[in-house]
């Protein structure tokens, strides 16, 4: 399991890192985002989606749970914040999105590790100061590690 660690020094920096990662995403990729409220998930996602050539704004899917965007690939943006246990998430049918051939971005992924596919990108966000964040990026599953974090 390879891990890269980034330190961003502004909200714009966090968004730009997201954009760079977004540019490299391929069909079928799953990006799991984990971290506390205010840690930078929304900004990073705005960057990711920009990197996938989606026009317009990325509204929080907390209410509808899933937003779909059209960029160079179909993008499914999930937010599990309001959901309870794994059963509730499973009943939503998130597998349809996970194996649907688009790019899937999951905020509050820590609520659903057990439901994620065997290979995915895990990105963890840590608050380090008013404008600074530590962002850890791991590829889960590809380098022999089958264990979820």
Partner 1 sequence: MLILGIESSCDDMAAAVVKDGRYILSNVVSSQDEIHKKYGGIVPELASRRHLETVIPVVEEALNQAKVTLDDIDAIGVTQGPGLVGSILVGLSFAKAICYVKDMSFVGVNHITAHPMAVFLEAGSREQGTGNGNDNIRPPIPDPQYPIFPFIALVVSGGHTTLFKFKDFDNYEILGQTRDDAAGEAFDKVAKLLGLGYPGGAVIDRLAKSGNVSAIEFTRPYISKDTLDFSFSGIKTAVLNYLKETESHGSGVSGQGSGFKSKIENRKSKININDLAASFQEAIVDVLTDKAVSACKANNIDSLVVSGGVACNSRLREKMRIKSKDNSIKIFIPEPGLCSDNGAMIAAAAYHFLKNGIRGGLDMNAIPNME
Is residue 10 near partner 1 by the rule CB under 8 A?
Answer: no
Q: How much of the chain is helix, strand and coil, in % rounded to 5?
A: 30, 30, 45
Nearer residue to partner 1 within complex by CB, 104 or 140: 104
Is residue 84 near partner 1 by the rule CB under 8 A?
Answer: yes
The footprint of partner 1 on this chain (CB under 8 A) covers a number of residues equal to 25
| Contact window for partner 1 (CB under 8 A) among 15-23, 52-60, 112-120, 135-143 | 52-60
Is residue 9 near partner 1 by the rule CB under 8 A?
Answer: no
CA angle, corner 44, sides to 40 and 46, nearest 5?
A: 120
CB of 133 to partner 1, least distance (A): 10
Query: Is the CB of residue 103 less than 8 Å from the CB of residue 23?
Result: no
CA atoms within 13 A on the CB side of 67: 19
Q: SS3 for 11? A: helix
Q: Which residues are near partner 1 by CB under 8 A? A: 11, 37-38, 42-43, 46, 57-60, 62-68, 84-85, 87-88, 91-92, 127, 130
């Amino acid at each position: 399991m390879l891990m890269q660690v980034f330190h961003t020094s502004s909200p714009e920096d966090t968004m730009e890192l997201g954009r760079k990662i977004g540019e490299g995403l391929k069909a079928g990729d799953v990006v799991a985002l984990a971290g506390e409220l205010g840690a930078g998930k929304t900004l990073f996602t705005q960057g990711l989606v920009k990197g996938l050539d989606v026009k317009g704004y990325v509204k929080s899917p907390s209410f509808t749970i899933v937003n779909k965007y059209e960029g160079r690939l179909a993008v499914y943006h999930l937010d599990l914040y309001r959901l309870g246990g794994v059963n509730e998430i499973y009943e939503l049918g998130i597998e349809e999105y996970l194996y649907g051939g688009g790019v899937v971005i999951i905020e509050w992924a820590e609520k659903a590790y057990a439901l994620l596919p065997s290979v995915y990108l895990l990105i963890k966000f840590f608050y380090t100061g008013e404008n600074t964040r530590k962002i850890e990026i791991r590829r889960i599953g590809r380098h022999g590690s089958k264990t979820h974090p």
